[in-house]
Structure 1
Amino acid sequence: MADHDSIKGKLTGRHVLLMVVAFFGVMLAANVIFIRAAVRTFPGVSEEKSYFQGLHYNDALAERAVQSRLGWTAEVTEVVREGETGQIVIYMAKDDTALTSLALTGVLKRPAHSDNDQSLAFNSLGEGLYKAEVAAFGAGAWDMALRAENSLGETFDIEARIIAP
Structure 2
Amino acid sequence: MTTATTTVGRDRHIPWLFVLGFAIVFAVNGTMIWFAVGSFSGLYTPKPRDRGLHYNDVVAAQQARDTLGWRVVTFWHPQSDRLELTLSDRSGAPLAGARVMVELVRPAEKRPPLDVAMAAVDAGRHEGHVALPARGNWDVDIVVERNGERFAQTQRMFLK
Q: How high is the TM-score relative to the length of structure 2?
A: 0.84
1:147 aligns with 143
Letter of the 1:80 counterpart: H
Distance 2:85 2:54 in 1: 29
* Contact 1:73 1:93 (C-alpha < 8 Å) held by counterparts: yes
Task: Number of aligned residue pairs: give it.
Answer: 158
2:87 aligns with 92
- The higher radius of gyration belongs to 1
2:7 aligns with 9
Distance 1:98 1:146 in 2: 17
Q: Please report how far the alpha carbon of residue 93 of structure 1 lies from its aligned counterpart in structure 2 after TM superposition.
A: 0.7
Q: Show CA shifts across 1:30-74 (max 9, x none).
A: 22343344346x332343221221111111111111111111111
Q: How high is the TM-score relative to the length of structure 1?
A: 0.82
Q: Which moved more, 1:133-142 or 1:48-57?
A: 133-142
Q: Which moved more, 1:48-57 or 1:101-110?
A: 48-57
Written as runs of structure 1 = structure 2, the 5 A alignment for 1:44-63 is 44-47=41-44, 48-63=46-61
Distance 1:149 1:53 in 2: 22
Q: Please report how far the alpha carbon of residue 137 of structure 1 lies from its aligned counterpart in structure 2 after TM superposition.
A: 5.4
Q: Name the one with the larger strand percent.
A: 1
Distance 1:143 1:157 in 2: 13
1:35 aligns with 33
Distance 2:93 2:140 in 1: 23
Q: Which moved more, 1:140-149 or 1:118-127?
A: 118-127
Q: Show CA shifts across 1:84-120 (max 9, x none).
A: x721111111121110000111311211123252112
CA RMSD in angstroms, aligned pairs only: 2.4
Distance 1:73 1:112 in 2: 27
Tell me if 1:111 matches 2:107: yes
1:80 aligns with 77
* SS of residue matched to 2:40: coil
Q: Please report how far the alpha carbon of residue 5 of structure 1 lies from its aligned counterpart in structure 2 after TM superposition.
A: 2.6
* Contact 1:46 1:114 (C-alpha < 8 Å) held by counterparts: no
* SS of residue matched to 1:106: strand
User: Do the aligned partners of residues 11 and 58 (structure 1) sit closer, same or farther apart at CA in structure 2, a change above 3 Å counting?
Assistant: farther
